[in-house]
Amino acid sequence: MTLLAVDSLSKTFGRSSRRGAQREVEAVVDLTFNIEAGEFLTIIGPSGCGKSTLLRLLAGLEQPDSGQITLQTQPLPDPSDRQGRFGYMPQRDTLLPWRTVLENVILGVELAGGSRETARDEARQLLPLFGLDGFENNWPSTLSGGMRQRAALLRTFLAGYDILLLDEPFGALDALTRRMLQQWLLGVRTRFSKTILFITHDIDEALLLGDRMLVFSPRPGRITADLKIDLPDPRDVNTILEPDFLTLKRNALAHLKL
């Protein structure tokens, strides 16, 4: 069943030059795709091609110039219609330094008007799954980069949204930590019925985690390929060495214009 439909979505920004004149910058052009309930959709493309703009349009942080976003057959024409419908995690973890890990991860529930005590109870149950057991009273400054990202992801999962928009959640991590978190996320996603849009610059990550992959062109971003990732489960970090994976990677690289 189609959960989210994006039809002919385009966005252009105005940019001021040194002389004060406005220069238009096309971010994305004519984006059209659907995503099914429970699907993990990865999005890959060169820097500056509009991937993050797409997530901001979906989250209601930007307004498209044209096109339509439809959620469960309901059009969402205005940013206010989309705000509060998606769990959005930007590239940085944005943990609040004056709140403990536990108080950070329940923030989304608080902002939505939910029960703090219920959120705390649920968070305590999920801390072990997210590798944070025993760190609930720590300050963010005492955590490693990987732990901060897991805390930010727990906050996003805990907020209760069916659709999660994850903008390069592992992009700032070193290669070893990144591989560990990919393995962790493969395990976590089986515990939740979430639909996920996941931006990455790492083609191995896109293929390892996703059910489908959208390939974006250089700016202005257009979808140049919509590829099904037909790999057997369960997957792990060694999947990237399998012949079927390498075949998919060669096909994806043929569509990726760098």
> Would you say how long the chain is, in residues?
258
Confidence of residue 190 (pLDDT cuts 50, 70, 90): confident
Which domains does the chain show, CATH number per domain? 2-85+163-256 (3.40.50.300), 87-160 (no CATH)
Residues 17-56: tens digit of each pLDDT: 566 556 788 999 999 999 999 999 999 999 889 999 999 9
- Residue 16 scores a pLDDT above 80: no
Q: Round to whole Å and give the CA distance between 209 and 198.
A: 9
Q: Round to whole Å and give the CA distance between 151 and 94.
A: 10
Q: Residue 208, class by beta-carbon neighbours within 10 Å (0-12 exposed, 13-18 middle, 19+ buried)?
A: buried
Confidence of residue 74 (pLDDT cuts 50, 70, 90): very high
Q: How many CB atoms lie within 10 A of CB 242?
A: 13
* 3 state SS for 174-243: CHHHHHHHHHHHHHHHCCCCCEEEEEECCHHHHHHHCCEEEEECCCCECEEEEEECCCCCCCCHHHHHCH
Confidence of residue 172 (pLDDT cuts 50, 70, 90): confident
Question: Taking residues 108-126, what's their average pLDDT?
Answer: 90
Percent above pLDDT 70 for the chain: 96
- Residue 6 scores a pLDDT above 60: yes
